[in-house]
Amino acid sequence: MPPLQGRVALVAGATRGAGRGIAVALGEAGATVYCTGRTTRERRSEYDRPETIEETAELVSAAGGHGVAVAVDHLEPDAVAALVRRIDLEQHRLDVLVNDVWGAEHLFAWNTPLWEHDLAAGLRLLRLAVDTHLITSHLALGLLTRSPGGLVVEMTDGTRDYNAVTYRNSAFYDLAKTAVLRLAFIQAHELAPHGCTAVALTPGWLRSEMMLEAFGVTEATWRDAAAVQPHFAAIAESPRYVGRAVAALAADPDVARHNGASLSSGGLAREYGFTDVDGSRPDCWRYMVEVQDAGLPADPTGYR
């Protein structure tokens, strides 16, 4: 029997990138997965990209689970409340909540001082990256805590240790990713008496649809990005890799030992033994510290 057969997950922000990878990996493990986002086959978000929540749900079902696409703007409490009521009505439970909403890739300027950054864009970034997570948890945790064993995964960029000593792109980006790390810690404290667990989780250098396009490559040719960004070509991971990290956590009967932790896809691969789609186990954050940030030439030896 698949390890998550009969389990119900909500992946908030499942349209593309890590969210899609997580939803599909949960489907691989047999879960029913509610896939939410703003882009459907009828309407696109301001990203104006082709990926849709319907595609994600179909991929979940094709992987062996049951995918359910629901169009939701997670900045709208009424819409999120309606989603949770629907899950309760249809499934009578919620076992896994993944707060992956981001939607702000176009709103921050790299290495731009706070006083020079567009203020409206930065504040919108914080709303999309932090408010959405707070709203979703506020409305969904009542259902998740109805029985012990529930898992909340707060998706961020960077581990707690790495972000504590590293400037992350801009004040707004840095603050958003740090806030989500803290939000996982807070929820861990509040969920523990109910027998539930919350963690922060970061992928490594993700081969998302947007990242592949930025480097002019595809999932089949991503190593060709070496001419543009050799470190990406050395250590990049597919969205399914971090998805398998979530699935491993959800299937672990002793997951509470991670409560409040800051975790990475590479670190969990070492612990649980899963691999990326190519059979490798990239360990991006160790690579970032020991190779890229140290100014060494790109070399994945010992890191994947």
pLDDT of the chain, 304 residues: tens digit per residue: 899 999 999 999 999 999 999 999 999 999 999 999 999 999 999 889 999 999 999 999 999 999 999 999 999 999 999 999 999 999 999 999 999 999 999 999 998 999 999 999 999 999 999 999 999 999 999 999 999 999 999 999 999 999 999 999 999 999 999 999 999 999 999 999 999 999 999 999 999 999 999 999 999 999 999 999 999 999 999 999 999 999 999 999 999 999 999 999 999 999 999 999 999 999 999 999 999 999 999 999 999 9
Q: Is 173 a catalytic residue?
A: yes
pTM above 0.95, yes or no: yes
301: tokens are 């030896």
> Which stretch of DSSP H or E encloses residue 218?
none
**Active-site pick, 173, 241, 287, 303:** 173
Q: Which of 39, 6, 41, 4 is nearest to 25 (CA)?
A: 4
CA distances to 7, 49, 56, 265 from 274, in Å: 20, 30, 22, 10
User: What residue ranges do the domains of the chain occupy?
Assistant: 8-207+239-282
Report the CATH number of the 8-207+239-282 domain. 3.40.50.720
